[in-house]
Structure 1
Amino acid sequence: MIYRNVLAAVVRALAAETISSAGGCDFEPKVQAAKLKGEIVGKEAAFLVDCMVFSRLHRNLSAEHWRALVAKYSTHTDRKHAAIAEITRAFKSPAPERFRHCAIVTWAMPRLPGADGKRSTNVLPASWYEMDNWSDEAHPIKTQERWRRDIRKALEGAVDLALIEAQHILEDEGLLVANVA
């Protein structure tokens, strides 16, 4: 399987760990009887490659880069929450701790379109997205906006660096469209 870009590869790889047989995809791929004996093809082969990419990225990316990708793109709720918690502990900002945590959580789980964002299982109550609820102390709105903007800018920068590193890993494996010639 060849991915069209690094983001598609990362998203598929991070989603692979939440796929179960209930969704029509087994962890152990099925051998296709109509094809060559023992050959794995189709969605089973794609799933196997996704799992391999997950493993390579997890092993080869720095802990900081891995956490950024998991917090931003993972569909595995427990891993996503653990990554958010680790980022919150390590993140330096003049903002109060609770504000930092809320800014990171809402960055990792943005408000989605639709009725109350209910198109996803990873949706937060509407009150989470109101900055006035992020701190018990009174801070000017401009200060809060600056804190949130700086936090999100730093987090997006970490994701960009992680995607660049992931692209190098995938290029070395020959898994990006640009490498096919």
Structure 2
Amino acid sequence: MTYRNVVSAVVRALAAETINSAGGCDFEPKVQCAKQKGEIVGKEAALLVDCMVHSRLHKALPADQWQALLAKFSTHTDRKHDAIIFLAKKMTSPAPERFRHAAVVTWAIPKLPGVQGKRSTNVLPEGWYVLSNWCDEGRPEPTLYRWRTAIRKGLESLVDQALISAQEVLDVEGLIEGHAA
């Protein structure tokens, strides 16, 4: 199996945790079952590759890059939440801690179009997206926008670095179309 690009590989690998009913990348039972029946094929094979890519990326990427990918792309609520907390503490900014946390949360869980943003089950209440709610210190609005922009640029840069690193790992493994070994 090969992926079209690095983003699709990362998204599928991170979603593999939530796809199976066991709640994790349980490729071992599938391998054991395959030894009895023959080769793993179809959806089972794709899930197996997704689980192995998840493991490979988790081990190969630095912690901050891995957490950035989790915050941006993961569908696992607890892992996404933990990654948001990790990144909020890691971000450097003159903004107060509460502001940094809200900026990371709204970056990781953006407001979606639709009726009150409710196209997804993972949408925050409307108040989370109001910038003036993030800081009690009465800072001017341009300052708040500058802080938010700087934090988001830092996060996007971290995701870009993580995707470059992931691309290198997947290229070595021959898992990207056109780059297969």
TM-score normalised to the size of structure 1?
0.91
2:68 is aligned to 68
In 2, Cα distance between equivalents of 1:21 and 1:82:
21
1:5 matched to which residue of 2? Answer: 5
Q: Does 1:114 pair with 2:114? A: yes
Aligned to 1:102: 102
Q: How far does the alpha carbon of each residue in 1:99-129 deviate from its partner, in whole angstroms, 9 at most, with x for none?
A: 1110000000001121122222211001100
Is 1:167 the counterpart of 2:164? The answer is no
CA contact (8 A) 2:68 2:155 kept: yes
Could you say which structure has the higher helix fraction?
A: 2
Number of positions where the alignment pairs a residue of Structure 1 with one of Structure 2? 174
Helix, strand or coil for the counterpart of 2:19? coil
Post-superposition offset of 1:29 = 3.6
* C-alpha separation in 1, matches of 2:116 and 2:56: 36
Q: CA deviation at 1:21?
A: 3.6
Counterpart position of 2:90: 90
1:136 aligns with 2:136: yes
Q: Within 5 Å, which residues of 2 pair with 1:14-29?
A: 14-21=14-21, 28-29=29-30
Q: Does the residue aligned with 1:17 lie in a helix, a strand or coil?
A: helix
Amino acid at match of 1:141: E
Name the counterpart of 1:156.
156
Structure 1 alignment gaps of length 5 or more: none
Deviations 1:129-180 (A, max 9, x none): 0001001111111111100000000000000000000000000000000213
Give SS of 1:113's match: coil
8 Å CA contact retained: 2:65, 2:161: yes
Deviations 1:28-85 (A, max 9, x none): 44968xxxx5111111100000000000000010001101000110000001100110
Tell me the distance in 1 between the aligned counterparts of 2:119 and 2:38: 39
Pairwise CA RMSD: 1.8
CA distance in 2, matches of 1:67, 1:48: 22
Percent sequence identity is: 64
